[in-house]
Structure 1
Amino acid sequence: MKYIFLHGLGQTASSWDKTISCIGEKENIICPNLFELLQKKEVTYANLYEAFSEYCKNFSEPFAICGLSLGGVLALHYSIENPDKVKAAVLIGTQYKIPKGLLKLQNIVFHIMPQRMFDTIGLAKKDAVNLSKSMMDLDFRQELQELKCPFLVICGEKDKANKKASSELAGILPHAELKIIQNAGHEVNIDAPEKLGEVLKAFLIGLLEL
């Protein structure tokens, strides 16, 4: 079985490297660089989701999907629209209804940050702001209870902005487990890659036994 790992907005595919080294299964784990999937299209959530959906057509068999933050939103959205393709999903620091106040605050921070901070992820500052704005109205509350595959919901202990939503998400999804990663903030794959790797490995091994 293939495992697709999706990074967050301020990350790249390489942000998963240390976590994956702790899991093993490297030959089965795929980490696309999300913004490269857009192929110069306007950087909006709708375009990114469409590009990711097209990318997933490369896989004929059902796969597991793991996403952090933006990647988690994409993973949740894809799981809702393609239940036959998703064997299981892991959602890390993921909101199921985008909090507009938090997103507006994030955009204020983006405006203040210099462009060089965005160069490392291959995204212009204006595109990061545009992407955030395009996510304002995302709300998956109505579809959550229809999801039948296993979910693992993960949040960093110090990720105050997403801890409540993670707990709620795990409670609403019919087949979900919640894991809090100690001494980690929002970027769990950066803050605690070894611990995250252990948790993901146990979950992925469980999938093989289903």
Structure 2
Amino acid sequence: MQYIFVHGLGQTAKSWDSVVGDFANKQAHCPNLQALLKQQEVTYEKLYDAFRAYCNSFSKPLNLCGLSLGGILALNYAMDFPDKVNSLALIGTQYKMPKILLKLQNVIFRFMPNSLFADMGFTKNDFISLTSSMADLDFTSHLSDIMCKSLIVCGTKDHANKKAAIQLAQKLSTSELVFIQNAKHEVNVDNPKALLKELKKFYDKIESTIG
């Protein structure tokens, strides 16, 4: 099986280093979202098209794990290609975009100096373009189509995404919900050990049912 770990906006593939190192015996992959776009305009539609092509290049089954933006892309792909996705691990992931929050983020981005975005993979304008293009995303009506095993994860200090995590776990019929202590939104950075423990437990159960 293939294990694909997808970083969030403001992160890079290296944000998974403390987690993926323990998956050395598995076929683990950490795509860099900026690289997938190949210098195209940064919009959600183009990013998802690139991510879809990336995932389609692998043989099934795929175990997708994504944080925030990465989780949204993974969820989108699972809805479009349910036969290819074996499991989903969604961390700090929204299934219906909070428009007010996105608008507030964009206002904040506009006042931030360009230098702060230097190590985030995308430029300041990329952030604004991408988040603006995501405002109307709403996967609510398609969630019932997802039948693969799902792990919904949220940091106990990630107050902006707790409600969505609970609702997502309720709407995905084969999901379980886990809260990670001492973690804000970037669980893979804030508490990678606790996240790794939950992921291993989740994947061990999946592999035992296949084996």
Q: For this structure pair, what is the TM-score category when the shorter chain's length is used for normalisation?
A: over 0.9
Letter in 1 for 2:31: P
Matching residue of 1:172: 171
Unaligned runs of 5+ in 2: none
8 Å Cα contact 2:10/2:121 also seen in 1: no
Distance in 1 separating the partners of 2:57 and 2:45: 20
Pairwise CA distance, 1:122: 2.8
Letter in 1 for 2:119: T
Q: Which stretch shows the higher mean deviation, 178-187 or 52-61?
A: 52-61
Matching residue of 1:152: 151
Matching residue of 1:3: 3
Pairwise CA distance, 1:57: 1.9
Matching residue of 1:61: 60
Distance in 1 separating the partners of 2:124 and 2:199: 32
Distance in 2 separating the partners of 1:37 and 1:71: 13
8 Å Cα contact 1:20/1:26 also seen in 2: no
Deviation by residue 1:123-168 (Cα, 9 ceiling, x = unmatched): 2101110000000000000011111100000000000000000000
- Counterparts of 1:30-69 in structure 2, within 5 Å, are 30-69=29-68
Distance in 2 separating the partners of 1:92 and 1:142: 20
Deviation by residue 1:170-206 (Cα, 9 ceiling, x = unmatched): 0011100000001100000010011001111111111
Matching residue of 2:99: 100
Letter in 2 for 1:124: T
Distance in 1 separating the partners of 2:125 and 2:160: 23
8 Å Cα contact 1:90/1:152 also seen in 2: yes
Matching residue of 1:19: 19
How many equivalent pairs are there?
Answer: 209
* TM-score w.r.t. length of structure 1: 0.97
* TM-score w.r.t. length of structure 2: 0.96
Distance in 2 separating the partners of 1:77 and 1:37: 16
- Counterparts of 1:59-208 in structure 2, within 5 Å, are 59-208=58-207
Pairwise CA distance, 1:35: 1.1
Distance in 1 separating the partners of 2:53 and 2:172: 26
Letter in 2 for 1:5: F
What SS class does the counterpart of residue 154 from structure 1 fall into? strand
Unaligned runs of 5+ in 1: none
